[in-house]
């Protein structure tokens, strides 16, 4: 097809080297790490020697385009999964979730995926990835704790994978570049959780940068950072409380429709097209594929426009693009739900809110909004009041700034100070 892809923003957003690790021992995270290490000691009757922390992520814009070679603009958030760990020499991986009390154990030589939807599958998948690199752990114990809402579309699974990867590297002296770890964790999600995700989640939680958004070109895997330093604006995350399950088939259906459309249009991925193609593709594709293509092409353009608007510090324009993104996800891609639509509509009407949209895979989970700092508390009250009146329960709301990515460090009891 004689249509051009959107212009890459590489000439507008300077690339940077892989980030240097931020100090993890800020008081809140240090306290959380110490508490997790105490839970480890209590459960395993031995001290932890390593602690790792990985943030959740929120995608500001660029939804359902990562597996179509598009551009995504996520940020790591100030909510964490923390893991405390120590080696063992019996070839056993022993797991403990301090939040739920769940436990699991398996041999390092038996890494087959369990038929149940167990969180141990993510650990098995990461271990299998290291095995493929010729690295095998003799065994370890791990306790995790989390402040990331489960099912909220904030990448708790990618954060868990990143914690495990960072723990293993620190415990056993293994070395891997952040992008290599992201790909290893992505494969774990594919093979052990059954979710054919793109690279965005793992890249964001492993490579996030404080006070920056991460711009990932999913076709070339080029990464650059977009400053989010204006103190007048905050990221507000509103959890609908509707748990989403990306492995239930709907996510895979949308992805398959995109790939079928690309094949029918004679392109390797939808990245090769732009919205000027839409009148022509409508005569070739069925309605389902046409809707999916329309979302992907226009979302790519919105993402690049948002990068330019951030560069101008034009947050109201970013908000307008967020609103348009939600409408496209609701009407064309059809991955929203009534609760998310209500949150978006309510939040968009509040003075001082630049924009709001659903974020994540959809079918539940969370919405993200850009909110002026002066109205964060008032906006949160309004959203809570209106949502509770409609659904009989409050949403989960918290504010965040872009955070640093996953890190592990040696742990001793004096680290609690």
- Name the more confident of 229 and 260: 260
Q: Which domain holds residue 147?
A: 21-227+403-416
**CATH number of the domain where residue 382 is located:** 3.30.70.890
Predicted pLDDT of residue 394? 96
Whether 186 and 218 map to the same domain: the answer is yes
Same domain, 184 and 281: no
Q: Does 271 score more than 80 pLDDT?
A: yes
CA angle, residues 136, 24, 210, in degrees to nearest 5: 105
| pLDDT at 13 (0 to 100) | 32
Within a domain: 120: yes
Active site residue 201: yes
DSSP string, 155-202: -HHHHHHHHHHHHHHHHHT----HHHHHHHHHHHIIIII-----SHHH
Q: Cβ atoms within 10 A of the Cβ of 209, count?
A: 24
pLDDT of 23 reads 38
In a shared domain, residues 32 and 88: yes
Clarify whether residues 239 and 340 are in a common domain. Answer: yes
Q: pLDDT tens digit string along 143-202?
A: 999 999 877 788 899 999 999 999 999 999 999 999 999 999 999 999 998 877 778 999
Instruction: Dump pLDDT digits (tens) for 313-353.
Output: 999 999 999 999 999 999 999 999 999 999 999 999 999 99
For 105-141, how does the pLDDT look when each residue is reduced to its tens digit (9 = 90+)? 999 999 988 877 788 999 999 999 999 999 999 999 9
- 108 lies in the same domain as 206: yes
Instruction: Identify whether 283 is part of a domain.
Output: yes
Regarding whether 247 and 223 lie in a shared domain, the answer is: no
Q: What is the mean pLDDT of residues 250-271?
A: 92
Rounded mean pLDDT, 262-282 = 94
The closest alpha carbon to 151, from 243, 55, 276, 46, belongs to 243
292 in the same domain as 184? no
- On whether both 318 and 215 belong to a single domain, the answer is no
Contact 389, 401 (CB under 8 A): no
Residue 366: inside a domain: yes
- Same domain? For 327 and 411 the reply is no
pLDDT at 22: 38
Whole-angstrom Cα distance, residue 325 to residue 299?
A: 7
Q: Looking at the domain assignment, is residue 306 inside a domain?
A: yes
**The tokens of 165 are what?**
């990867």
297 belongs to a structural domain: yes
The CATH number that applies at residue 410 is 3.30.230.10
Whether 136 is covered by a domain: the verdict is yes
Specify whether 139 is located in the same domain as 196. yes
**What does the block give as tokens for 255?**
């992805």
In tens, the pLDDT along 55-98 reads 999 999 999 999 899 999 999 999 999 999 999 999 999 999 99
Is residue 3 a part of any domain in this protein? no
Flag whether 9 is in a domain.
no
DSSP bridge partners of 54:
81
Alpha carbon distance 222, 203 (integer Å): 11
- Tell me the pLDDT band of 6, cut-offs 50, 70 and 90: low
Considering the domain architecture, whether residues 220 and 245 belong to the same structural domain is answered as: no
- What is the pLDDT at residue 29? 87
Q: Same structural domain for residues 51 and 83?
A: yes
Q: How many domains does the chain fold into?
A: 2
> Per-residue pLDDT tens for 201-253?
999 999 999 999 999 999 999 999 999 989 999 999 999 999 866 545 787 88
Give the active site residue among 66, 97, 98, 201: 201
């Amino acid at each position: 097809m004689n249509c051009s892809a959107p212009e890459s923003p590489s000439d507008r957003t300077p690339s940077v080297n892989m980030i240097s690790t931020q100090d993890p021992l800020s008081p809140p995270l240090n306290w959380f790490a110490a508490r997790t290490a105490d839970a480890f000691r209590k459960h395993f009757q031995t001290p932890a020697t390593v602690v790792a922390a990985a943030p959740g992520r929120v995608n500001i814009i660029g939804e359902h385009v990562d597996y179509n070679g598009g551009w995504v603009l996520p940020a790591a958030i100030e909510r964490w999964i923390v893991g405390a760990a120590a080696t063992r020499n019996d070839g056993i991986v022993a797991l403990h979730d301090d939040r739920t009390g769940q436990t699991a154990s398996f041999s390092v030589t038996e890494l087959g995926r369990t038929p149940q939807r167990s969180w141990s599958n993510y650990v098995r998948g990461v271990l299998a990835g290291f095995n493929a690199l010729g690295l095998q752990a003799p065994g370890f114990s791990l306790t995790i704790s989390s402040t990331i809402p489960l099912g909220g579309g904030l990448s708790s699974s990618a954060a868990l994978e990143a914690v495990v990867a960072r723990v293993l590297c620190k415990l056993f002296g293994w070395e891997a570049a952040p992008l290599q770890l992201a790909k290893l964790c992505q494969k774990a999600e594919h093979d052990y959780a059954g979710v054919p995700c793109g690279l965005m989640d793992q890249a964001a939680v492993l490579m996030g940068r404080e006070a920056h958004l991460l711009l990932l070109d999913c076709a070339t895997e080029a990464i650059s950072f977009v400053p989010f330093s204006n103190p007048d604006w905050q990221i507000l995350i509103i959890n609908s409380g509707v748990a989403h399950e990306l492995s239930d088939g709907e996510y895979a259906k949308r992805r398959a429709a995109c790939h079928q459309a690309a094949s029918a249009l004679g392109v390797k991925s939808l990245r090769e097209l732009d919205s000027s193609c839409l009148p022509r593709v409508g005569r070739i594709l069925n309605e389902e594929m046409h809707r999916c293509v329309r979302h992907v092409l226009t979302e790519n353009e919105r993402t690049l426009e948002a990068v330019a608007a951030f560069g101008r510090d034009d947050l109201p324009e970013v908000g307008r693009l967020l609103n348009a993104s939600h409408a496209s996800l609701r009407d064309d891609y059809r991955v929203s739900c009534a609760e998310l639509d209500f949150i978006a509509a309510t939040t968009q009407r509040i003075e001082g809110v630049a924009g709001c949209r659903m974020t994540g895979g959809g079918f539940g989970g969370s919405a993200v909004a850009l909110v002026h700092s002066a109205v964060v508390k008032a906006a949160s009250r309004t959203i809570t009041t209106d949502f509770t009146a409609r659904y009989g329960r409050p949403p989960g709301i918290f504010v965040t700034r872009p955070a640093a990515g996953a890190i592990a460090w040696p742990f001793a009891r004096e680290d609690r100070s």
